[in-house]
Amino acid sequence: MGQYYLCVVLIIFLFILLIHEVIYDCKSIRKPYKRILLCLVLTLLFKYNYGTHFYGLEYEDAYVFSFCARQFLYDIFPTSFLIDAVSVGSLTEPMLTSTYGGHFIMYPTFLSLFTNIFGWSPTILSIANTSIAFFILLILSILPKNQENWFILPVLYCCAPIINLFTTCFLSEIFSSFICLVFVYTYFRRKSIYNYVLCLISFLVAIMCKRENLALLTLPTIEIIYLVLWKYRCEIKKYTGEILKYTSLLLIVCIYFLSVQNVFDIERIESQDIENSTFSICYLSILFPAFIKAMFSFKAFSLVLTATIAWLIYFFFHNKKMSLDIVFPLTLFFAYLLLYTSHYRGYFFIKEGHVSSFETYRYINNFFYLLPIMFLPLRSKLVKPIKFIVCVALAFSLYNTYSLRFKMSETEYQERFKVAKTVSTYIQANSSNSVLICENILLYQNICGDNFNVCDIRLYDKLDKNNQTDYYLLLSDLNYLKERYSLNIDLHDVSPVMYLEDGRYLYKYK
């Protein structure tokens, strides 16, 4: 329970300090209300789903965070900073919880700040994410200060339909990218105690949200190298104090490894699960081209990456000096890209050696905000032509965003929730005291009532059955389950009661 409340305190402090710093910046901007109004309009147009819910499709990541936030309403708290979710029982009568390795409680803790007040529902969770999107757009709009082209950054962030889609889903990347943006925002701002504390808190929250965000250390690492080997190389002793300020980030990393989670332990556990290394050059050779191809997808990202590349080429040819406004986000972008593409992308990727474009989109979402930031040095007097191009791009993105949202919502219903609703309806109609044993329990825990009992099929051999309860077993590929989880399931003990259109059977114990 202590871990949950620590996360609550960190998030509240982060937002208090962020609002303080944003207000400070707005005071130095001419007509800041224009930026706030534009961000609000963009948020309402692109960053809310208006009832067309899309959890994220990918099991288990798309469903574990929303369910964890639901658990908090029933005082089911984790024993660490990793998610502990009910694996046997129901929300009202939890019998056993299991840890979802690699999934931290920071994002569901943020969601719980909304659900504790308004109750739990997909709509409330979507609104929570939409509020995050507004802050992302607001920060992007005030980064250029008083430049006439300040609107380009928030507009570019809305020009990728797939990013708009993932804004209101329940994967952790939207919250993670927001926290990372706060870190980048504060890292290069004025030196004040409020800004410095916000920078440190945002870094801690970022790495407590996703371990991949340790890539943020790329920025201070580059800066230290620049100071030591270039700027202060002749007077290094004189500026030792300034260089030592970076030790606070190193201290946070040490605290993280000692008190939150040792990343190497997670990698070791995951390596055992997939029976292979978690990092490999072989993964890079497959994933890097897949990620690049995905970012050039016209329907997913419009021409955002193409426009960014064109801008970078133009900038490098017309400027003799390198701008830190480009160097830092560009370097951080490639740091994330290399990190994601050299790391395995799931159990089935290891077995099949293939990853779909859709699977890459959610990871790109975590560092997509860096592309608009690269336009910070843009200076152009052609404001009217740019505004016209922007309007056309937004219109195209708006159409594709809504089309994509309806399509993916329907796809998720057909592939995930249709069977879950059919099975849960059957069980509730035919039994007053039952337990469903299946592999994808998170689907039922998100859509069923709080007294619906489930059992993770991985715990099948440990389940203590009694005669007063009806036990149902949902099976698809029995050989796969036996191979991956070493289960001992005897079909002679059960009888089929329902055949589902996806090829699965619902069995009931005799």
Alpha-carbon distances, residue 414 vs 17, 237, 397, 400 (angstroms)? 43, 65, 25, 21
Tokens of 89: 């029982």
494-499 and 470-475 strand pairing? unpaired
Q: What is the pLDDT of residues 103-122, one digit of tens each?
A: 899 999 999 999 999 999 99
**Residue 148 CA neighbour count, 13 Å, CB half:** 9
C-alpha to C-alpha distances, 456 to 84, 198, 439, 463, nearest whole angstrom: 13, 40, 6, 10
287 falls in which pLDDT band (50, 70, 90)? confident
Q: Are 302 and 397 in contact (CB under 8 A)?
A: yes
Q: What is the mean pLDDT of residues 284-307?
A: 88
In which element (H, E) is residue 498 found? strand 494-499
Q: How does the average pLDDT of the chain come out, rounded?
A: 86
Task: Using the predicted structure, report yes or no on whether residue 360 has a pLDDT greater than 70.
Answer: yes
With a cut of 70, say whether residue 146 has pLDDT above it. no
Instruction: For residue range 32-51, list pLDDT tens digits in order.
Output: 889 999 999 999 999 999 98
pTM metric for this prediction: 0.91
Give the lowest-confidence range in 273-282, 362-371, 411-420. Answer: 273-282
296-326: buried (b, 16+ CB within 10 Å) or exposed (e) per residue? ebeebbbebbebbeebeeebeeeeeeeeebb
The rounded percent of the chain whose pLDDT value lies above 90 is: 45
Residue 82 exposed, middle or buried by CB count within 10 Å (0-12, 13-18, 19+): middle
Q: How far apart are CA 485 and CA 492, in angstroms?
A: 20
Helix axes 2-27, 122-142, angle to 10 degrees: 40
Higher pLDDT, 99 or 128: 128
The pLDDT score that the predictor gives to residue 239 is 56
Cα gap 178→93, rounded to integer Å:
35
Q: What are the angstrom distances between the C-alpha of 509 and each of 91, 470, 491? A: 23, 7, 9
Who contacts 289 (Cβ-Cβ below 8 Å, separation ≥6)? none
* H/E stretch holding 501: none
pLDDT at 510 over 80: no
Are 355 and 307 within 8 A, CB to CB? no
Full DSSP string of 230-286? IITTTSTTTTHHHHHTTHHHHHHHHHIIIII--HHHHHHHHHHHHTS-SB-HHHHHH
Please report which confidence band the pLDDT of residue 192 belongs to, taking 50, 70 and 90 as the band edges.
confident
pLDDT above 90: residue 346: no
- The span from the CA of 404 to the CA of 301, in Å, is 12
The predicted pLDDT at position 43 comes to: 96
- Average pLDDT for 249-275: 75
What is the distance of C-alpha 41 from the center of its chain? 24
Task: Quote the radius of gyration of the chain (alpha carbons, Å).
Answer: 24
Biggest CA-to-CA distance, the chain: 82
- One-letter amino acid of 106: M
pLDDT category at 245 given cuts 50, 70, 90 is low
Closest C-alpha among 25, 311, 7 to residue 143 = 25
Residue 1: pLDDT band by 50, 70, 90 thresholds? confident
The pLDDT value recorded for residue 177 is 96
Q: Which residue has the higher pLDDT, 298 or 276?
A: 298
DSSP 455-484: EEGGGGGG----TTSEEEEEES-HHHHHHH
Mean pLDDT of 386-397: 84
Cα–Cα distances (Å) from 180 to 205, 207, 332, in that order, read 9, 9, 11
Structure tokens at 55: 């959890």
Among 27, 16, 68, 29, CA closest to 446: 68
| Element at 369 (helix H, strand E) | none
For residues 459-485, average pLDDT: 77
Confidence of residue 240 (pLDDT cuts 50, 70, 90): low
Mean of pLDDT values over 461-466: 74
What gap in Å lies between CA 411 and CA 407, rounded to an integer?
6
Is the CB of residue 7 less than 8 Å from the CB of residue 65?
A: no
Q: How many residues does the chain have?
A: 510
